[in-house]
Structure 1
Amino acid sequence: MIYLDHAATTPIRGEVMEAMVPFLTEEYGNASSIYGLGRGARSAVDKARHSVAQFFGCADSEIVFTSGGTESIHSALLGAWLARPDRKHIITTAVEHHAVLHTCDLLHEMGLEVTILDVDENGRVSVEDVIGAIRGDTLCVSVMMVNNELGSVNQVAAIAEAVHRASPDVLVHSDMVQAAGVFRLELDRSGVDLASMTAHKLGGPKGIGALYIRRGTQWKSVLRGGAQERERRAGTENTAAIVGFGAAVDWLSRHFEEHTEAIRVRSQALREGLSKISAITWNSPPDGVPHILNVRFHGIRADRLLMRLDLEGVAASAGSACAAGSLTPSHVLLAIGLDPKAARESVRFSLSDEMTEEEISQALEIIERTVSQLQSTTRPS
């Protein structure tokens, strides 16, 4: 199989798996226990936290481990409101991941007003629109850094700076799930108060994520129970997964330039090859992140194309994996101005550094042949 859906999830790197195995077997202690087996697990968790914090450019104490990006997002927004329930307004954008939009729906059910800002044709929100939406009772602004369907990049640092200049007590949250393997984030310099990440987009395991909470941010724990994570996220630590997260970012730290360059080269080859296919339109902007390419194949429904590609051994998607199986057109593509028909004809290809030139060439040959076959069956006689 030629896997072109790395924005949905990535395979676990061998080095990451090796680091995890002992904590799935003989090193099974509870990291909250005080005897030797527990202390060993605690040491591993602390080491991984340090690796994650260093990679994301923040203090160890500002990292809270979660079950993944969705929990990190939910906890960021709901925890901000629990700390300041007098605030009744939140701002986000029309192209956010459903983890953000559905959490905002929940906050709306709890009495908050939600302002959803429009974006431009590339999926970006303007700083001016964000500032213009702030009110006296605004709690938080949530803007994703890299869009998971288009690959477009929001200037989150500029937005955070402008928000804090206009209204210093308004928090800024960013979904950085798709940005973490592309940019050196330097959270301490980013201006954001809260940020959400996950390991399985970075060659790490599923089921483990991180929430960045800037020191001094008004925030309360959402998941209550034990005293884990400095009483910010209760529940027995998933030691093996946390170790895997740490190993994944350790690998990226050592290989970041070659990792990003390999993706850039593969992306350029894929983009050039796809551009030779007739009747396509690019949805991804040319200055988006290289690992996500979204393209419309005119006259071919994405679900038909994806099923045929799957039969030919190529895996891709029609957008967010979390919305797979939905008959509703992508909210992201509708938000950038596509009509429902165009949105249903759009496919996302996403790459990793581990893909070979041969895989890209084979994928292009299969895609071109399959598109040609499907176009021939849809042309009027």
Structure 2
Amino acid sequence: MECYLDNSATTRVLPQVADTVYKVLTQQYGNPSSLHKKGLEAELILEGARRDLAQVLGCDSSEVYFTSGGTEANNWAVYSGYELRRRRATGIVTTAFEHSSVIEPVQFLAEKGAQATFVAPDITGHIDPAAVLGAVDENTGLVSLMLVNNELGTILPIKALAAQIKRKNPQVLVHCDAVQGFGKLPLSVHSLGVDMLTVTGHKIHAPKGIGALYIKKGVHLKPIIRGGQQQKRLRPGTENVAYAVALAQAAQIADQGRVQNTAHATALRDKLLGLCAQNSEVAVNSPADGLPYIVNLSVLGIRSETLLHFLAEQGIYVSSGSACAKGGPSHVLRSTGMDLARADSALRISFSAYTDEREIDCLYQGICQAQATLSRR
């Protein structure tokens, strides 16, 4: 039995979404910029996908721009958001456990003169809202905060923070990386009060290589890619129509099943935590009030890389952190001040709506076998 428990890295594409992609690729394959029937057909399909995604996000379709994924959308928001305010404000506030596609652009801008503040989480994996607000001043032009941390599952109070930030400095642009919370938490960009918001497809059972950036009307970001008139010249390049449709379809499916799926994920998390409570050598790193789809734990005394390979040999697939880190040390766990040995033995287990309870039993049995086998060695 295959136990796939790495859904925060990527999810399998739903069969109905894959069927839609195949149909568009083979039947509605026109270039949406072409001035003939096939081009018009593709354009209509593309704009339909934009409307469908906008409906899920709670915004107007004119505020949705398709990208190649979450990394591009985050880079666009950070670089262009900073540039938009740079003449009057050179400060950027973010957290120390953001995804690398936010951390690294902010670090690059800091090298070029930006005043960057990275608010660290505490040992429980939470961010102090007062620390974020305290870092915002008259020189702050951009604040970028994730909705859900991709390794710990920490949920940030974006709505409350955005409102407080705007009250303190109305000129601040607020960007939210919602990649891990999209399709799992109630999400309305207008309710959140953000200026920009990132989503991607492959965390919600759409293909890899498609994402979107919401840009609030009146926020005039500059493009970071040039060379075409597509998407109002803000994100040029021939649109990936099939994948845009897939993203919108998967988003609708996730939104419709959100309540039921969250209950399922909560039951899976509770089952796993109940099993781990029986094992004195397993420590849970995720906060108790985190997103139930993500459980970060440490199997004390066994390095993550060693345990990952042991489990993979049995068809059990988990990760040690963000897939983008390629197995490198987790900056997320380090930012909490976690003991190095505990951080070096951490696993991230992540569920989807299609995870089976038997996979939880399989994982725990694999951990116990690893403890018995590897400790003997």
TM-score by length of 1: 0.95
Q: For residues 11-43 of structure 1, what are the alpha-carbon distances to aligned partners after superposition, in whole Å with 9 as ceiling and x for unaligned?
A: 000111111112221321101112111111111
Alignment of 1:242-257 (within 5 A): 242-257=244-259
Report the CA distance between 1:331 and its aligned residue.
1.1
Q: Does 1:136 align with 2:148?
A: no
Q: For residues 115-134 of structure 1, what are the alpha-carbon distances to aligned partners after superposition, in whole Å with 9 as ceiling and x for unaligned?
A: 11122223322222122212
Q: Give me the whole-angstrom Cα distance separating, in 2, the residues matched to 1:170 and 1:257.
A: 33
Instruction: Give the equivalent residue in structure 2 for 1:193.
Output: 195
**Alignment equivalent of 2:307, drawn from 302, 305, 308:** 305
Report the CA distance between 1:274 and its aligned residue.
2.3
Q: Give me the whole-angstrom Cα distance separating, in 1, the residues matched to 2:359 and 2:298.
A: 22
Instruction: Give the equivalent residue in structure 2 for 1:233.
Output: 235
Q: How many residues align?
A: 375
Q: Give me the whole-angstrom Cα distance separating, in 2, the residues matched to 1:102 and 1:266.
A: 34
Instruction: Give the equivalent residue in structure 1 for 2:345.
Output: 345
Instruction: Give the equivalent residue in structure 2 for 1:258.
Output: 260
Which secondary structure state, in structure 2, belongs to the residue aligned with residue 25 of structure 1? Answer: helix
Question: Quick check: 343-352 or 261-270, which moved more?
Answer: 261-270
Report the CA distance between 1:222 and its aligned residue.
1.6
Q: Does 1:154 align with 2:156?
A: yes
Which secondary structure state, in structure 2, belongs to the residue aligned with residue 143 of structure 1? Answer: strand
Instruction: Give the equivalent residue in structure 2 for 1:5.
Output: 6
Report the CA distance between 1:305 and its aligned residue.
0.5
Contact 2:85 2:142 in 1 (8 A): no
Q: Does 1:181 align with 2:197?
A: no
- Cα RMSD (Å) of the superposition? 1.3
Report the CA distance between 1:194 and its aligned residue.
0.9
Which secondary structure state, in structure 2, belongs to the residue aligned with residue 348 of structure 1? Answer: strand
Question: Quick check: 151-160 or 351-360, which moved more?
Answer: 351-360
Structure 1 counterpart of 2:248, one-letter code:
G
Report the CA distance between 1:9 and its aligned residue.
0.3
Report the CA distance between 1:304 and its aligned residue.
0.5
Contact 1:176 1:195 in 2 (8 A): yes
Which secondary structure state, in structure 1, belongs to the residue aligned with residue 179 of structure 2? Answer: coil
Q: For residues 130-177 of structure 1, what are the alpha-carbon distances to aligned partners after superposition, in whole Å with 9 as ceiling and x for unaligned?
A: 222123221101111100000011101111000000000011111110
Q: Does 1:332 align with 2:339?
A: no
Instruction: Give the equivalent residue in structure 2 for 1:121.
Output: 123
Q: Give me the whole-angstrom Cα distance separating, in 1, the residues matched to 2:292 and 2:50.
A: 28
Report the CA distance between 1:291 and its aligned residue.
0.8
Q: For residues 272-300 of structure 1, what are the alpha-carbon distances to aligned partners after superposition, in whole Å with 9 as ceiling and x for unaligned?
A: 12222231211001110011000011111
**Alignment equivalent of 1:96, drawn from 92, 95, 98:** 98
Instruction: Give the equivalent residue in structure 1 for 2:212.
Output: 210
Structure 2 counterpart of 1:125, one-letter code:
I
Q: Give me the whole-angstrom Cα distance separating, in 2, the residues matched to 1:52 and 1:243.
A: 9
Which runs of no fewer than 5 residues in structure 1 stay unpaired? none
Q: For residues 227-246 of structure 1, what are the alpha-carbon distances to aligned partners after superposition, in whole Å with 9 as ceiling and x for unaligned?
A: 11122101000011101101
Structure 2 counterpart of 1:18, one-letter code:
D
Residues 85 and 182 (structure 1), Cα distance of their counterparts in 2 relative to 1, 3 Å cut: same
Contact 1:123 1:147 in 2 (8 A): no
Instruction: Give the equivalent residue in structure 2 for 1:290.
Output: 292
Q: Give me the whole-angstrom Cα distance separating, in 2, the residues matched to 1:105 and 1:120.
A: 21
Report the CA distance between 1:269 and its aligned residue.
1.5
Instruction: Give the equivalent residue in structure 2 for 1:171.
Output: 173
Structure 1 counterpart of 2:100, one-letter code:
H
Which secondary structure state, in structure 2, belongs to the residue aligned with residue 168 of structure 1? Answer: coil
Q: Give me the whole-angstrom Cα distance separating, in 2, the residues matched to 1:254 and 1:131.
A: 34
Q: Give me the whole-angstrom Cα distance separating, in 2, the residues matched to 1:195 and 1:43.
A: 24
Instruction: Give the equivalent residue in structure 1 for 2:78.
Output: 77
Q: Give me the whole-angstrom Cα distance separating, in 2, the residues matched to 1:230 and 1:124.
A: 39
Instruction: Give the equivalent residue in structure 2 for 1:368.
Output: 368
Instruction: Give the equivalent residue in structure 1 for 2:325.
Output: 323
Which runs of no fewer than 5 residues in structure 2 stay unpaired? none
Q: Give me the whole-angstrom Cα distance separating, in 2, the residues matched to 1:247 and 1:304.
A: 38
Structure 1 counterpart of 2:295, one-letter code:
L
Structure 1 counterpart of 2:64, one-letter code:
I
Contact 2:146 2:156 in 1 (8 A): yes
Which secondary structure state, in structure 2, belongs to the residue aligned with residue 273 of structure 1? Answer: helix
Report the CA distance between 1:268 and its aligned residue.
1.7
